[in-house]
A and B are shown apart, each in its own frame.
Chain A
Amino acid sequence: MSKDTGPGAPRVRYAQQLGALLWKDLAIELRTRDTIAAMLVFGVLSLTVFNFAFELRAESLVLVAPGVLWVAVLFAGTLGLGRAYSHERERGSLEGLLLCPVDHSAIYLAKLLANLAYLALAEAVLLPVFDAFFGVEALQPGVVAVILLGTVGFASVGTVFGAMAVQTRAREVMLPILLLPVLVPVIIGSVKATGILLDGRPWSDTWVWVNLLIVFDVVYVAASFALYEYVLEDWG
């Protein structure tokens, strides 16, 4: 048995570890489908409830529909992010990871990529349902781009706060309490840009909001990378 070591210092490859961490999360999810199933059921149920509750007329549709879509995405996503660390918590496995010679940013990045994959899959199902319920043209490239931009900000912060919340006793309650106030700029930018596009206005009208989303995505991803180290220090 040998290790991938150089002369004097260990050379454990970041990409290999990132790949292993991502494979582990996706393999477990593919077998259990715990997170995806919960997100899809909750998201579709939210849209169904909103559909019957609002009975929207054409003139009010564009005002309310973007908010409805994002509330469904946020509800489903928060549920998924809350489950992202359940496997690590239940069997003390995150401590097992902390015992490995791994850069904590690799653990964060793998969780973020897994969360982005779950959210993207949920959104891929929710968008056609939203389209069918509300009769708006949501399946257009601009809306998809805005949703992806909003999702990056959502998942980057949610991945950090998920790790913090799961260490508390009231973890199911704690995650939305921590997460939603920080996400306000991303939610506003996403809802506004989605509304403009659903109203049939040109993509150029969304620039203010899209720029806001891009700025907050960059800030949130960078801050999350920096913060994650400290979050893991407190684990256990």
Chain B
Amino acid sequence: MAEAPAAEARGVTKRFGARAALRGVDVAVQRGERVALFGPNGSGKTTFLRIIAGLTQPTRGEVRIAGMDYRRGGQALRLRVGVTGHHPYLYDDLTAEENLVFYARMFGVSDPRGRAQAVLEAVGMAQRRRDKVRGLSRGMQQRVALARAMLHDPELLLLDEPDTGLDQEAAGQLGEYLVRGNGEPRAVIMATHDLRLGLRLCQRYVMLLGGRIAAGGSMAGLDADALEQAYAAATFQAGQQGRPAQRGQA
């Protein structure tokens, strides 16, 4: 029997009152596969990631993580997923290390302090581990947030604009975080406006426009220019039609 996808969304629709943020989105991400989520502001990328993370319930449709329904999988599924969002999910008045030790305990990591130090070193924050988060720059906070998402070595990583605030060196190291402790690649869904970052890190892309999938496909054979052209064409086509592109399968 084929292995269940790391994450699967079927017909996911999300409405906020009269406004539909997502309209029947189907995405399946295989284990170890890295998918970039492109789209302009308000296209539904963050809403989609929040639904996959279990932070928001879809109005319609189904989400499965490793073949399990989120509503039934509960706490076991949380161990499989790591998330970075628009918020760093850190406490300003705790140090970087204290934040990570706290979250490691919440995830039941066996050596919280050791693991916190290891991931802080991985993101280049070991020297600043005793600094309160309040005193760290935006980019440093983002590094600690990335470390927090990796603490429990998740199989699936959901990254919402992970390069926000990062300097070039840190952004260049993002690829290192996409491999698990045992050397296996993580499954990744990464929302980003940076097409080149998506091209560098991901194997496939999904383009959202107006809450629908407008385009998608493999990154193989694409260079940055071709990807930018595909992005522009999808945006133009949606604009010409006066409505978002048709529902698609990715």
Q: Do A and B come from one complex?
A: yes
**Chain A interface (Cβ < 8 Å from any Cβ of B):** 1-5, 9-13, 16-17, 19-21, 23-24, 27-28, 31-32, 87, 90-93, 95-103, 233, 236
B residues 78-120 near A (Cβ < 8 Å) are 78-79, 81, 83, 85-94, 98, 102-103, 105-111, 115, 118
Additional pairs, 18, CB under 8 Å, beyond known A27-B93, A91-B89, A100-B106: A1-B153, A10-B79, A10-B108, A11-B108, A12-B75, A17-B105, A20-B102, A20-B105, A21-B106, A27-B98, A87-B91, A92-B85, A92-B87, A95-B85, A96-B87, A96-B90, A101-B108, A103-B75
Size class of the contact patch on chain B: 35 or more
CA distance A28 to B79 in the complex (A): 26
B contact residues around A100 at 8 Å (CB): 78, 103, 106-107
Shortest CB–CB separation between residue A93 and chain B, in angstroms? 5
B contact residues around A9 at 8 Å (CB): 76
Shortest CB–CB separation between residue B142 and chain A, in angstroms? 13
B contact residues around A99 at 8 Å (CB): 53-55, 78, 81, 83, 89
A contact residues around B94 at 8 Å (CB): 24, 27-28
Shortest CB–CB separation between residue B138 and chain A, in angstroms? 12
B181 at the interface (CB under 8 A from A): yes
CA distance A113 to B5 in the complex (A): 41
Choice from B93, B98, B148 contacting A96 with Cβ under 8 Å = B148
B152 at the interface (CB under 8 A from A): yes
B218 at the interface (CB under 8 A from A): no
B contact residues around A1 at 8 Å (CB): 109-111, 115, 118, 153, 181
A contact residues around B118 at 8 Å (CB): 1
B164 at the interface (CB under 8 A from A): no
**Nearest 5 interchain pairs by C-beta:** A92-B87, A96-B89, A12-B108, A101-B75, A20-B105
Choice from A2, A28, A92, A101 contacting B76 with Cβ under 8 Å = A101
A contact residues around B54 at 8 Å (CB): 98-99
CA distance A13 to B112 in the complex (A): 14
CA distance A190 to B140 in the complex (A): 50
CA distance A32 to B19 in the complex (A): 41
Shortest CB–CB separation between residue A35 and chain B, in angstroms? 12
B residues 110-148 near A (Cβ < 8 Å) are 110-111, 115, 118, 148
Choice from B74, B92, B115 contacting A91 with Cβ under 8 Å = B92
Q: Are B88 and A91 in contact (CB under 8 A)?
A: yes
Residue among B53, B86, B92 with max Cβ neighbours from chain A (10 Å): B92
CA distance A16 to B57 in the complex (A): 29
CA distance A87 to B110 in the complex (A): 27
A contact residues around B111 at 8 Å (CB): 1
B56 at the interface (CB under 8 A from A): yes
Choice from A2, A16, A28, A101 contacting B93 with Cβ under 8 Å = A28
Q: Are B107 and A3 in contact (CB under 8 A)?
A: yes
**Chain B interface (Cβ < 8 Å from any Cβ of A):** 50, 53-57, 74-76, 78-79, 81, 83, 85-94, 98, 102-103, 105-111, 115, 118, 148, 152-153, 181
Task: Sample 8 A-B pairs with CB under 8 A, ordered by A number.
Answer: A1-B109, A3-B110, A4-B108, A4-B109, A90-B92, A92-B88, A101-B75, A101-B107
CA distance A16 to B152 in the complex (A): 16
Shortest CB–CB separation between residue A27 and chain B, in angstroms? 7
CA distance A83 to B152 in the complex (A): 30
CA distance A12 to B57 in the complex (A): 25
B contact residues around A19 at 8 Å (CB): 105
With known contacts A87-B91, A91-B89, A91-B91, A17–B106 Cβ distance under 8 A: yes
CA distance A31 to B94 in the complex (A): 9
Q: Are B79 and A24 in contact (CB under 8 A)?
A: no
A contact residues around B56 at 8 Å (CB): 236
A contact residues around B115 at 8 Å (CB): 1
Q: Are B108 and A13 in contact (CB under 8 A)?
A: yes
With known contacts A4-B110, A100-B103, A93–B79 Cβ distance under 8 A: no
CA distance A99 to B79 in the complex (A): 9
Q: Are A32 and B79 in contact (CB under 8 A)?
A: no
With known contacts A17-B105, A20-B105, A98-B55, A93–B76 Cβ distance under 8 A: no
